[in-house]
Amino acid sequence: MKVLPIAKGLPAPGEYLAIVRGLMRQSGTSRAGSSVRVLPWGTSGVGEDPQPDAGSRPRRIRQLGVRAVASAFAAAFLVILSFVIPGPANASQWAFCGSGSESTWQPGFGRWFIQNDAWSGGHGPQKICAHSYHSWTAWSNQRGTAVETFPDSQRVYGPATNRKQDPYSSFRRIVSHFAVTMPKGRGLSAEAAYDVWWGNGWDTKLELMIWVNTVNRSLDGSRFLGRARIYGQTFGVYEYPGGKNDPPEFVFKLNHNESKGTVHILSAARWLVHRHYMSPHLGLTAIPFGFEIAGTGGRTLPFTLRNLSIITKGGTG
């Protein structure tokens, strides 16, 4: 379930235009939507039928029969495609669409990024379409039991913005507001979550996840550390110790599901610092929020972010 955010190897902001254009060429999409145009049936350039008479009627019937068969075949083909390729029927309504495993958009070329992030080698098809960093839908079709994808928006800090990295101790507040729509269906295994990265420069030292809406997701292999009471809400806290090449991961799992709410990210980090699980000298690198998707029952399901904001006080913003 390790997800490496794009901020882990983030180029300077000025380099992102070339990267996004390259990803768009790979996925066949642009900010205006799909670059593929499909002409409607009946625009093949064939002229009008002659006026009906006794000799032309059988020919006209044959033409109509061919067109009917062609139309039926086209309709059946589109139905099949709808099960194979996830995504909206009209991509032009979105500012960005991408179906590549690392399709990425930097809206406004600021500090926010949107990524499809189908990072597992065994993932199924997935497409993300966005109006902005705080409004998008990902259509995903997965059959796994462990996390396959993490479509997300992320706010980046420190070296990812060519600025000095601010340590935990310099922040007075990190709060986020979110609103999501989690799909329903047999075989669904996913959660809506924050995935906060702390480290020294590009060297990530700790991953802090906050699960706010969880469906059939397991925490097997983790160690239960206790319960955290944060602004009136209760979270179970779990630890994955990490390994040689992986930082430790801490999961704060809300004891109920929310489709919208407020999360006090700095308070969760403070819980870890006060219990000596986290150093106060670690710097903030990125705060992604999205859906970790393991399975959708082999069907294409929509995962929607309806609103997102992150507010910080202290540091350099």
Task: Convert 97-125 to b/e letters by CB count within 10 Å (16 or more is b).
Answer: bbbbbebbbbbeeebbbbbbbbbbeebbb
- pLDDT classification of 91: cutoffs 50, 70, 90: low
- Rounded to an integer, the average pLDDT of 236-246 is 92
Q: Give the Cα separation of 92 and 31 in Å (integer).
A: 8
- Supply angle C-alpha 207, 10, 145, rounded to 5: 45
The single residue listed with the structure tokens 């996840």 is: 209
260 beta partners? 179
Nearest in space to 107 (alpha carbons), one of 126, 86, 130, 91: 130
pLDDT reported for residue 161: 83
What DSSP string describes 211-240?
EEEEES---TT-EEEEEEEETTEEEEEEEE
The full set of domains in the chain, from first to last, is 6-32+85-314 (2.60.120.180)
pTM of the model: 0.74
Give the ranges where the chain is alpha helix by DSSP (H). 16-27, 57-84, 265-274
**Average pLDDT of the chain?**
78
pLDDT one-digit tens code per residue, 99-134 = 999 999 998 667 899 999 999 989 999 999 999 999
CB 23 within 8 A of CB 108: no
Q: Give the Cα separation of 294 and 148 in Å (integer).
A: 5
Q: Give the Cα separation of 277 and 270 in Å (integer).
A: 10
pLDDT one-digit tens code per residue, 276-290 = 999 999 999 999 999
pLDDT one-digit tens code per residue, 33-89 = 322 222 222 232 333 233 333 333 332 222 334 333 334 443 443 334 444 455 665
pLDDT reported for residue 244: 84
Percent of the chain with pLDDT over 90: 62
- pLDDT classification of 315: cutoffs 50, 70, 90: confident
- Rounded to an integer, the average pLDDT of 144-151 is 94
Nearest in space to 296 (alpha carbons), one of 182, 128, 136, 179: 182
CB 220 within 8 A of CB 245: no
